Amino acid sequence: MILISWLLLASRIVFLDNRITLLSPNGGEVIQRGTNFNVKWICQEPNQKLALLLYQKGRFICLIARDLPDNGFYFWKVGTELAAGKGYRLRVRSMLSPDLNDFSDNDFEIK
């Protein structure tokens, strides 16, 4: 009984922590500069305006988009000015509640 209670509590904590989940890019992708990439997420908080931010090796690189409606996707025009390389991650963040955010789970590459 204790184990079942702990599992229910653990699953509830994970659910609360994952109110927004970045689905793509989530690691391992190779994204070409100058192309469109379909960024996807799930947000379980209603009426959010979202921002997409790009990081490389933990360092903020640029704001990709802001004030996005929470429709679950955004076609990102990958700029040719971005440096080719590995170690990139994307962050989706609420404009209203900055603690409501998620990063790519693993690195992706821009070529």
Which pLDDT tens digit goes with each residue over 24-68?
999 999 999 999 999 999 999 888 899 999 999 999 999 999 999
| Structural domain that includes position 96 | 19-110
Residue indicated by tokens 């170690």? 87
- pLDDT band of residue 17 (cuts 50, 70, 90) is low
- The CATH number covering residue 70 comes to 2.60.40.10
Supply the pLDDT for residue 18.
67
Instruction: Show the CA angle centred on residue 106, arms to residues 10 and 31, nearest 5°.
Output: 140
Q: What are residue 25's phi and psi, to 5 degrees?
A: -80, 140
Angstrom CA distances, 94 to 18, 41, 42, 89, stand at 13, 12, 12, 17
90 close to 104: Cβ distance less than 8 angstroms: yes
Residue 50 lies in a domain: yes
Residue 13 lies in a domain: no
Residue 4 lies in a domain: no
Residue 60 lies in a domain: yes
- As for how many domains the chain has, the answer is 1
110 close to 33: Cβ distance less than 8 angstroms: yes
Residue 86 lies in a domain: yes
pTM surpassing 0.85?
no
Share of the chain above pLDDT 70, in %: 84
Q: Give the pLDDT mean for 87-111.
A: 95
CB count in 10 Å sphere of residue 74: 18
Residue 73 lies in a domain: yes
Residue 3 lies in a domain: no
Residue 1 lies in a domain: no
Q: What are residue 6's phi and psi, to 5 degrees?
A: -65, -40
